[in-house]
């Protein structure tokens, strides 16, 4: 059972839903009269993207990108590689990049530079979680759901070793689950 590996719940389903509703309302206000293109960065953001999009009432379009950071289960190398690009052109669009977590900033710094070069009308970043203490690149979110300490969090799309994404809440992983891997890595 996945739940046996969770130390405690950080954000319950209800808390997540309430915050997603608030973020969508802010996006509705800020983009009034516009038609934003929501860009989900796979895979971690798929659940947040699905919930946020359903709470936004403005006309909008969606597209998906996938990138991978080289590294081990517990350490990122900082190198980012494009796995899947946008299907639609970004030129002239009001792009809102949707992420599950902003950590070192490596992924977003790479992606935002790449998208800016395509001449969008505007580009903003919306992240559900932010770990500011881990930042090594100067990336800031325009919309941030929760600022969190440096803990291993999983659920609601976030994984550890590709598991736990299906938990409906966000929880802190028990140390024993990743400590052995940290030694190996
Ligand atoms: C996570 C998350 C961000 C990135 C943030 O993706 O979805 O894309 O890490 O970390 P950074 O700020 O240190 O770059 P991950 O590489 O775990 O892949 P996933 O989305 O497929 O889970």
pLDDT, tens digit (0-9, with 9 covering 90-100), for 140-170: 999 999 999 999 999 999 999 999 999 999 9
Ligand 1 atom 6: the closest Cα is on which residue? Answer: 44
Which DSSP category does 185 fall into? -
Tell me the whole-structure pTM to 2 decimals: 0.94
Q: List all residues whose CB is within 6 A of at least one atom of ligand 1.
A: 41, 43-45, 69, 76, 99-108, 159
| From 42, 69, 131, mutation site for ligand 1 pocket: most ligand atoms within 8 A of C-beta | 69
| 117 Cα: distance to centroid of ligand 1 (angstroms) | 22
Q: What is the pLDDT of residues 18-36, one digit of tens each?
A: 999 999 999 999 999 999 9
Max Cα-Cα span within the chain:
52
Among residues 110, 97, 39, 99, the alpha carbon closest in space to that of 69 is found at 110
Decide if pLDDT at 42 tops 70: yes
Reported as a pLDDT band with limits 50, 70 and 90, residue 73 is low
Catalytic one of 103, 130, 142, 159: 103
Locate the ligand 1 atom nearest the alpha carbon of residue 134 and give its number: 13
Among residues 130, 137, 132, 120, the alpha carbon closest in space to that of 86 is found at 120
Mark whether 103 is an active-site residue: yes
Percent of the chain with pLDDT over 90: 86
Start-to-end CA distance of the chain, whole Å, equals 25
Distance CA 144, CA 129 (A): 6
| 4 Cα: distance to centroid of ligand 1 (angstroms) | 24
> Which residues make Cβ contacts (< 8 Å) with residue 20, sequence separation at least 6?
48, 51, 52, 55, 128, 145
User: Taking the alpha carbons of 66, 67, 70, 72 in that order, is the dihedral positive or negative?
Assistant: negative
Decide if pLDDT at 72 tops 70: no
Task: Say if residues 43 and 157 touch (Cβ distance below 8 Å).
Answer: yes
Q: What is the pLDDT of residues 81-97, one digit of tens each?
A: 899 999 999 999 999 99
């Amino acid at each position: 059972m996945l739940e046996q590996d969770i130390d405690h719940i950080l954000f319950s389903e209800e808390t997540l839903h309430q915050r997603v509703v608030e973020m969508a309302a802010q996006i509705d206000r800020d983009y009034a009269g516009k038609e934003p293109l929501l860009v989900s960065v796979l895979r971690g953001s798929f659940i947040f993207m699905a919930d946020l999009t359903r709470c936004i009432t403005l006309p909008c379009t969606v597209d998906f990108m996938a990138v991978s950071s080289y590294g081990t289960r517990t350490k990122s190398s900082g190198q980012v590689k494009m796995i899947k690009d946008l299907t639609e052109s970004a030129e002239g669009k009001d792009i809102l990049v949707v992420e599950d977590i902003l950590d070192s900033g490596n992924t977003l710094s790479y992606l935002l530079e790449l998208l800016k070069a395509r001449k969008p009308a505007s580009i903003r970043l919306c992240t559900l979680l932010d770990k500011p203490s881990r930042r090594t690149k100067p990336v800031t979110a325009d919309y941030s759901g929760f600022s969190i300490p440096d803990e291993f969090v999983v659920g609601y799309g976030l994984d550890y070793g590709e598991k736990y994404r299906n938990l409906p809440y966000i929880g802190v992983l028990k140390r024993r689950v990743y400590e052995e891997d940290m030694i190996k890595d």
